[in-house]
Structure 1
Amino acid sequence: MTDLRITVGKSLREIAAEVTDAVHRVEKGETVEAESSINFADWDALARTLTAKRLELLRHLHRHPTASVRALAAALGRDYKNVHADVQALTEAGLIERGETGDLRAEYDGIQTRIAM
């Protein structure tokens, strides 16, 4: 497992430059390690997405991949509707993965955050 890198405020130009650099390195025969990363437009977007309850949910999923939202809500002792909304937001942001059978997972060991100035 690896860390998930979250950046805040990185421009599309910066992201495109990183991708272009990786492609050029591969073309030269260099090994380029795959990296999981998510960029949020600004601090407010990150703060709206990664609340304390959602971080608790992610930690639980990291330790205990769960078959369904209902099972996750029960394990956390939280209301199904709220957990469903949290899972939807975290999935859309790329922080939760759904397996082929619909199971929920957070398959990274940590989150590294970099906020552009």
Structure 2
Amino acid sequence: MNSVTLEVCSRERINDRFLRAFEGEPQGQFISFESPELLFKVISGKRWDLLKVMTGAGPLTIREAARRMHRDVKAVHGDVHALLNAGLLQKTEKGRIVFPYDSVHVDFMLQAA
């Protein structure tokens, strides 16, 4: 199964993972955010719905994603570009969009200040 972990973590932890990967230790697939606020800003409710529709679906046109979500194409277009800019979605050579994972794990911890 091709899985990705969306996480909130420090730059130090990302650097540590990079160094271990550079030494040949498999790290898995991660997309990291600096804070929970940034994660929730990038992945709003409608964008989370878009990821759910696209998980395991293969390449789709924006129009097809909008149809599956019962949403306006223009609104989905804006969400797609936000997720492309964040590195969550990819664009194929044919101009379709793809979320290249079969599952998503979200990992962050809320601690007392």
| Cα distance in 1, alignment partners of residues 20 and 59 from structure 2 | 37
Aligned-pair CA distance for 1:47: 0.9
Aligned-pair CA distance for 1:85: 0.8
TM-score (norm 1): 0.79
Aligned to 2:21: 22
User: Is the 1:3–1:108 Cα contact (8 Å) retained in structure 2?
Assistant: yes
Q: Deviations over 1:17-76 (max 9, x none)?
A: 22112223x2xxxxx336221111111111112122212211211243344212322332
Gapped regions of structure 2 (runs ≥ 5): none
The equivalences for 1:75-90 within 5 A come to 75-90=68-83
Compare 90-99 and 61-70 and name the one that shifted more. 61-70
Gapped regions of structure 1 (runs ≥ 5): 27-31
Aligned to 2:11: 12
Aligned to 1:29: none
SS in 2 for 1:113: strand
* Cα RMSD (Å): 2.0
**Percent of aligned pairs sharing the same letter:** 27
List, as ranges, runs of 4+ consecutive aligned residues in structure 1 with deviation greater than 4 Å: none
SS in 1 for 2:102: strand
- Per chain length, whose mean CA-contact separation is higher, i.e. which structure has more relative contact order (CA < 8 Å, sep 6+)? 1
SS in 2 for 1:46: helix
SS in 2 for 1:108: coil
User: Is the 1:4–1:111 Cα contact (8 Å) retained in structure 2?
Assistant: yes
Aligned to 2:3: 3
TM-score (norm 2): 0.81
Larger Rg: 1 or 2? Answer: 1
Aligned to 2:41: 48
